Amino acid sequence: MIKSDIKKTLKELAQLVGGEIAGDESVVIGKAAEIEDAGEGDIAFIANPKYIDRVSTTKASAIIASPDIKVPGKNFLYVKNPYLAFAKVLAILKPSPKPYKGIHPGAHIHQTAVIGSSVSIYPHVYIEKDAKIGDRVALYPGVYIGKGAQVGDDAILYSNVSVREGCFIGNRVIIHCNSVIGSDGFGYAKDGMRYHKIPQVGIVRVEDDVEIGASVTIDRATLGETVIGRGTKIDNLVQIAHNVTIGEDSIIVAQVGISGSTKIGKRVTLAGQVGVVGHIEIADDVVIGAQSGVTNNVASKGILSGTPAIPHKDWLKAATIFTKLPEMRKMLLELEKRIKELEERG
């Protein structure tokens, strides 16, 4: 259960999220909770009609739901997208804590760095020569901003984030703890029995409204830019290699690995543990299922699964056969034996 210091009437919440009320609009809401745990003064939500039985038993003072959910005696806030409305209500009832404004004396800032207004720079932040920090930026303890790097307005970089030299972070970007933006790309030239490091002289460009989870690594380009498109959301523990381009509003789920120079379109979803080989292209609006391996270009939108990734419907058919393979092998061996016996008799 998420507690709140703010209270709103159901009518006020409906006005804020653009919904309609069925029931008592004056009921006061102070907390958001899961529907099973909710009590008096709480608001819960239901996104799937198959869980309507939980609405009948909940003690929540109000429920966010789609208009087709109707249970007598309950207060409803009806919206087209209950999940989105619930997210907005959470932000209203429990806004994120605001960092203090100012520069802590324990931060190191190079004299040539440019720092915007109303920033929050915590102790042990290290900002290198010629770096630029925008307005209202929050840099938490242990953040490193490399030489000539730029961080846009309203960005939040949590503890121990590193933005390496020359890299660019757009406006309203959020980067969670221990992520590294601009580590060297994995590039080596074979020199006999040894490997010679290829200098990685490009940058990473993270466009506006991107969110990057914890312990993500995004490698700088060998030449040019590694680009994360506007509005893309990246989960924890993701590896993005040098010169990758990811289009706008894509979703990259945990433990995805994307090899170098791959181009990913707009609104693409890569589910958990997807692996993508290098130097291929994935079209706009493609969804790749969890633990899939993408080894070739994906030329048009669709849903793919498996390794190598194939259309999801085909993969489902193939998956039903996997468990039958031992039995099928046994049958084939028996058929071979019978055929051999018939041939010997003939």
pLDDT at 241: 98
**From CA 29, how far away is CA 6, in angstroms rounded?**
8
**β-pair partners for 133:** 115, 151
pLDDT at 26: 96
- Residue 120 in this model has a pLDDT that exceeds 90: yes
List pLDDT tens digits, range 254-287.
999 999 999 999 999 999 999 999 999 999 999 9
* Range of weakest confidence among 224-228, 229-233, 257-261, 331-335: 331-335
pLDDT at 271: 98
Given 104, 110, 176, 242, the catalytic residue:
242
- Residue 1 in this model has a pLDDT that exceeds 70: no
Strand order of the β-sheet with 42-45 is: 20-22, 76-78, 62-65, 42-45, 31-32
ω into residue 67 within 30 of 0, thus cis? no
* H helix runs in the chain, sequence order: 10-17, 52-57, 82-93, 312-322, 325-345
List pLDDT tens digits, range 284-319.
999 999 999 999 999 999 999 999 999 999 999 998
- Measured at the CA of 277, the angle between CA 276 and CA 280, to 5 degrees, comes to 95
Annotated active-site residue 176? The verdict is no
**From CA 224, how far away is CA 205, in angstroms rounded?**
10
- Residue 2 in this model has a pLDDT that exceeds 70: no
Residue 41 CA from chain centroid, whole number: 32
CA neighbor of 295 nearest in space, from 283, 310, 315, 313: 310
pLDDT at 51: 86
**From CA 120, how far away is CA 140, in angstroms rounded?**
8
Q: Report the share of the chain in percent with pLDDT over 70.
A: 98
As a three-state string, the secondary structure of 194-231 is EEEECCCCCEEEECCCCEECCCCEEECCCCCEEEECCC
List pLDDT tens digits, range 177-213.
999 999 999 999 999 999 999 999 999 999 999 999 9
- Residue 237 in this model has a pLDDT that exceeds 80: yes
